[in-house]
Structure 1
Amino acid sequence: MEWTSSQLRSLVELTRRGTITAVAETLGYTPGGVSQQLAALERSVREPLLRRVGRRVELTDAGRALARHAERMLSIEADAVAALERTTRTVAGSLNIGVFATAAAEILPIALTRAREKHPELAVQSREMVVDEVYDAVAAGSVDLALGLDYPDVPIPRAPSLRLVRLVRERFALAVPSGVLPDRQEISVADTGDLGWILPDLDTHYGRAIRTVCRRAGVEPDVRHQVTDTAASLALVEAGVGTTPVTDLMLRLRPSQLRVLDLTERFERDIVIIVRSAAQSRPTVAALAGVLHELTATGE
């Protein structure tokens, strides 16, 4: 029997995600590409691994059995790649990383420049992702390392195989339209009154985190605009239609004419490196992680 890592990874992700479409989104393939990978795997093992149930597919007994072993095989493969990298004296090879939008704009360009200067034989490929999906992408092996977020108030669930390294902790303030509350430098969420809120959906980790802070203060935020994109949220504040939480990194994404008030309540987020435990010791992973640590430590 012969199979590829991509085929095994598609099978493992199907046990986690449940649909071909969800597997494709996680691994960065098309649904057709995932179906082709699984069909090729079935031909190789000469056993049906999937069966159709209405418009969905589910694993057969053979599929579930192979998926359990495939997880171990992929873990062993990651260990082997790390061992091979450790035999070289120079940091060389390719590295796939996932980044969310704000990190892609503010952190990635400087990090890639610094990595190229320090490790010229390291080839880094990046992929912008929805921030809530980077954990799954690392766990699935579709990226080697990712920049993501975590919230002390509502920690993001993650697979046991993942490790998080905090780069920096940011405290949120509140962006309000120019001319609003001109005598205030600090505000409680309880005093936002009729300002109205611009927040992401409750289904996002960020949306749940800010609502947790509000409810702890006895406030149910009056969400008038449900927006995920940071630049769009800042533009709406600038237009005078509401208030939104911001950090220094978020403010750098879009120069805006607005006021920033300190929040009485402590609301924070961590910018983190997400990596599989088996990949932590890979020289390429460690090298890029080191560059990211240097950048955040110096505030560049």
Structure 2
Amino acid sequence: MLDVRRLVLLRDLAHLGTIAAVADAHAYTPSAVSQQLAALQREAGVPLLERTGRRVGLTPAGVALVRHAETVLAALESADAALVAARTGLSGTVRIGAFPSAVRTLLPAALVALGREHPALDLMVTELDPTAVPAALRERRLDVALLHDYDVAPVPPDPALDAEPLLTETVYLAVTADTPFDPADPVRATRDADWVMGSPGTLCHTMAVRACQLAGFTPTVRHHADDFTAVLALVAAGQGVALVPQLGAENPPPRVRLVPLPLRRLTRIAYRRGAGRHPAVAACAAALHAATAAHLDGREAPASG
């Protein structure tokens, strides 16, 4: 019988790429991880790992076993959900991850509702970029999280996760009120402007660069900022133009004009595969859906003038 804990290490090696990274994720030493993977290889009876230079990768058998490991881990999540559902009342810690604009706009109402309806739940929120969500869920540092991507920069689904749609947002071009723009192709009209973008490696940065490339140019990035309030303040100060999704574009400074674009940000509620029926996960998802609907009903779209 294969050891599930060793399967988790193999799965994480497939995602993280190095034994050192797996060791950091689990607070093990690299030597301990190597020993556990060697034991798993003996249990399997076939080579699962192969060394290329200084790196250790997976053999075809190792890749196949990782696919089965995802199914096994999802089944265990489902079993845990079924056991929790048999108890009376919800209790325990639920760790929720979300990106900054959702923490500011959607999450507070969801937390209030959860606290009112399930007072025995201990809710813990972590703000993080969606690029960090899959690893945090796999490593059980989060239980539920909001992640997003953009239609111009889609992210492949993670086989370890399940996700359900939450929100589709318009993306706006933010410029100063006196900036001329071409309604037919607003992004291309900014090809000679300075840009304010998220930090390299974030999805917002990737989206903005991709949108400019689709418009036929490479942007000149003058400032990096990951909080959309700061981004809009820089735009208002004449420091550049930016792309801002709907949640981040609420209450813009007076001098900022928001031009709606045919670009969309797609937000989903994510959790470990098989955990969707866990009562606490389901309660969080329901609260997030309700909070999002209430938020959208209670505000107007940003003005484009």
What is the TM-score of this pair, normalised by structure 1? 0.77
Aligned to 1:280: 276
Cross-structure match for 1:291: 287
TM-superposed deviation, 1:280 = 0.9
**Range with bigger deviation, 272-281 or 209-218:** 209-218
Distance in 1 of aligned mates of 2:212 and 2:239: 19
Q: What secondary structure, in the 3-state scheme, does the structure 2 residue paired with 1:126 have?
A: strand
What is the 5 A alignment of 1:110-259? 110-177=109-176, 180-181=178-179, 188-192=186-190, 194-200=192-198, 203-252=201-250, 256=253, 258-259=255-256
Structure 2: how far apart are the matches of 1:107 and 1:293?
Answer: 9
Return closer, same or farther for 1:96/1:261 CA change in 2, 3 Å cut-off.
Answer: closer
Instruction: Please say which of residues 131-140 and 65-74 is displaced more in the overlay.
Output: 65-74
- Give percent identity, aligned residues only: 34
Shift of 1:86: 1.9
Per-residue displacement from partner, 1:221-255 (whole Å, max 9, x unpaired)? 33333444434433422332101112342145x96
In structure 1, list runs of 5 or more residues that go unmatched: none
Q: Are residues 1:38 and 2:33 paired?
A: yes
Q: Which residue of 2 aligns with 1:84?
A: 83
Structure 1 residues 26-75: Cα deviation after superposition (integer angstroms, max 9, x where no partner): x4x55xx4648637847987969989987655679998898676545433
Maintained 8 Å contact 1:47/1:62 = no
Counterpart contact for 1:210–1:267, Cα < 8 Å: no
Separation (CA, whole Å) in 2 of partners of 1:34 and 1:67: 22
Distance in 2 between residues matched to 1:62 and 1:187, nearest whole Å: 50
What is the one-letter code of the residue matched to 2:78? D
What corresponds to 2:98 in structure 1? 99
Residue of structure 2 in register with 1:267 after alignment: 263
Conservation of the 8 A alpha-carbon contact between 2:23 and 2:30: no
Distance 2:41 2:258 in 1: 64
2: distance between equivalents of 1:60 and 1:160? 19
What one-letter code is carried by the residue in structure 2 that aligns with 1:211? V
Matches of 1:236 and 1:21 in 2, distance apart?
A: 39
Whether the 8 Å CA contact 1:3–1:41 is kept in 2: the answer is no
Q: What amino acid does structure 2 have at the position aligned with 1:38?
A: V
Amino acid at match of 1:237: V
Mapped partners of 1:109, 1:209: distance in 2: 27
Q: State the partner residue of 1:75.
A: 74
Query: 1:15 and 1:193 mapped to 2: Cα distance?
Result: 40
Report the Cα distance in structure 1 between the residues aligned to 2:166 and 2:288, rounded to whole angstroms.
Answer: 8
The whole-number CA distance in structure 2 between the counterparts of 1:174 and 1:294 is 28
Contact 1:184 1:261 (C-alpha < 8 Å) held by counterparts:
no
Tell me the CA shift for residue 267 of structure 1: 1.3
- Cα distance in 1 for partners of 2:107, 2:49 equals 40
- Offset of 1:19 from its aligned partner? 1.7
| Residues 37 and 156 of structure 1, relative CA distance in 2, 3 Å threshold | same
SS of the residue corresponding to residue 282 of structure 2 reads: helix
Equivalent-residue separation in structure 1 for 2:181 and 2:56 (angstroms): 60
- Structure 2 unaligned regions, length at least 5: 299-305
